[in-house]
Structure 1
Amino acid sequence: MTQRLDLTKISPDGYKAMLGVHSYVQNSGLSLGLLELVKIRASQINGCAFCIAMHVPLARKHGVSDDQLHLLAAWREAPIYSPKERAALAWSEALTHLTGGDVPDAVYAEIRQHFSEKEVADLSFAIAEINAWNRLMICTRTPPQFGSPAA
């Protein structure tokens, strides 16, 4: 796969704006391991190899186990996720798919059992951020990079 565009060079201000959202999300107070789980799950759904390759090492760095990473695509069937992680993963899937243009009330009710309104808002920004990155990396055909996590 050959990269079509390098957004950092072609649109540095746009890239910088995306990094601003990233910085907000990373400093929101949500668990960095949890954020990595929802980012990887959204990236799996969207088929973004670049983001999956980036966020798996970051997830490990922030305490996500290899078992959790290996079973993430089948998290509903795997008993190794906490109720809070399950609620966040369901929220991530609902916001990534937006089936029928809505997020089901049951998914919202579940997330609210485990997260404050502010945390739900911040988690929603995290999911919106990764979905935007997925779309940017896919449309530019940015190939995955392997090695040490960047942040």
Structure 2
Amino acid sequence: MTRVNIYQAQPAAYKAFFAVEAYLKQCAFDPIIEELIRVRTSQMNGCAYCIHVHTQGALQHGESAERLFALSVWKESTLFSEKERAVLALVEEMVHIYAQGITDATYVSLSKYFNEDDIAQLMVLCTMMNAWNRLGVATHANEQTKY
């Protein structure tokens, strides 16, 4: 079944989303960490379109296929640094925000590697990626784009 195309039906909404993306571009994230956030969020939310886009982005920035394959099991993998683990814990808690919010343990872990502004920017990135995923899954974006 064909779903609404938000971009066509509500271009002002997309304009607002892209304004947040423009803000995120000026945050100067490490590109690998940014793509890990985007891919892991998309894995958890089941957004095939965003997984496709952001795994490609990660590979273009030099991420290895091996680490991308292990991303869904990062807790058990030895391929991720403590800094990346702190970020991935944030991702999982942001996706499942209803469960417990952001735990003190995750916040303390993040604060070892990031200052308050960085943590705020990471939270905005996680929030934005969750929003993109929800639109993508709700509208079957993967079917509309035929990647």
State the TM-score, normalized to the length of structure 1: 0.91
8 Å contact from structure 1 (residues 53, 146) kept in 2: no
Larger relative contact order (CA 8 Å, sep ≥ 6): 1
Whole-angstrom CA distance in 2 between matches of 1:141 and 1:132? 14
CA 1:43 to 1:34, structure 2 compared with 1: closer, same or farther past 3 Å? same
Whole-angstrom CA distance in 2 between matches of 1:82 and 1:8? 37
Deviates more, 1:64-73 or 1:95-104: 95-104
State the TM-score, normalized to the length of structure 2: 0.93
User: What's the offset of the Cα at 1:99?
Assistant: 4.0
Aligned to 1:49: 48
- Note if 1:58 corresponds to 2:22: no
User: What's the offset of the Cα at 1:5?
Assistant: 1.2
Aligned to 1:25: 24
Whole-angstrom CA distance in 1 between matches of 2:100 and 2:2? 32
- Note if 1:13 corresponds to 2:12: yes
Q: 1:72-151 maps to which residues of 2 (within 5 A)?
A: 72-143=71-142, 145=145
| Identical columns (%) | 34
User: What's the offset of the Cα at 1:78?
Assistant: 1.0
Deviates more, 1:17-26 or 1:126-135: 17-26
The amino acid across from 2:79 in the alignment is I
Q: What is the RMSD computed on CA atoms of the aligned residues? A: 1.5
1:23-72, Cα deviation, whole Å (9 max, x unpaired): 21122011111111011111111111111011100011112111110000
Aligned-partner SS, 1:71: helix
The amino acid across from 2:71 in the alignment is L
Runs of 4+ in 1 over 6 A off after TM superposition: none
User: What's the offset of the Cα at 1:122?
Assistant: 0.6
Equivalent pairs counted in the alignment come to: 146
8 Å contact from structure 2 (residues 40, 72) kept in 1: yes
Whole-angstrom CA distance in 1 between matches of 2:106 and 2:15? 32
